[in-house]
Amino acid sequence: MSHLFEAIPFVKNELYEKIITDIGAQKFCIIDDFFTSDEVVKLRESLMIRFEEDAFRKSAIGNKTNEVIKQAVRGDLIFWIDEQIGNAAEQLFFKKINDLKDYLNRTCFMGIGHKEFHYAIYPKGTFYKRHLDTFQNDDRRKLSFVCYLNSENWQAENGGELVLYLDKEDKFIYPFPGKVVIFESQIIEHEVKPVNTQRLSITGWLKTH
């Protein structure tokens, strides 16, 4: 009898298995070298090109907040990345994200059908106060994903730590280049401490729809 369809072989991926185990156990996972230094350089260059094109906009915190309130909550500038028209670095970024998403859907039945990612620049002196990544009446965001694009010589003293507020102790994470932090959007409250030096990243969400 001939094959009606060919099953896609399942290849176990150690990194993705670690992500699944960590998120299962502690609701977050930190991967120091999710992106290589070469990939970080290319993504940082893409971010800077968008910035020079004047494509970044002030971030928002909901729909009816005024500018004064907003600046007291978060001060980053963002640019949403379009997967369809992305350059080579952005295509590569989405390939890695899609790979991870497919693996999660296949092994954990997470039902992730949608995603959204933006570049973020935190100018000197800005921060993002303690918050949860889900909006009222919207629970589509399942996993938050942050990837740091700072330069190789980023110093801990530059500030801009991501703080995860956990049950037992708070977790301080330094935004070193190539590092990725993934956490459950609906559970983990977090904050970005003030930066003394411009801080660069990509932030995004894996969503149900």
- Summarize as ranges the residues that interact with ligand OGA (CB under 6 A): 120, 128, 133, 146, 162, 190, 192, 201, 203
Whether residue 201 contacts residue 147, with contact meaning beta carbons closer than 8 Å, is answered with yes
Residue 39 binding target from ligand OGA, Mn ion, none, CB below 5 to 8 Å by type: none
89 or 159: whose CB is closer to Mn ion?
A: 159
19 or 173: whose CB is closer to ligand OGA?
A: 173
CB of 153 to ligand OGA, least distance (A): 19
- CB atoms closer than 10 angstroms to residue 176: 16
Cα–Cα distance for residue pair 93/86, rounded to 1 Å: 9
100 or 195: whose CB is closer to ligand OGA?
A: 195
Is 133 an interacting residue with respect to Mn ion (CB under 5 A)? yes
Strand ranges for 123-194 from DSSP E: 128-131, 141-148, 162-165, 171-173, 180-184, 189-192
Cα–Cα distance for residue pair 191/73, rounded to 1 Å: 10
CB of 162 to ligand OGA, least distance (A): 4
110 or 163: whose CB is closer to ligand OGA?
A: 163
Judged on CB neighbours under 10 Å (0-12, 13-18, 19+), 128 is buried
CB of 144 to ligand OGA, least distance (A): 7
Contact positions vs Mn ion (CB under 5 A): 133
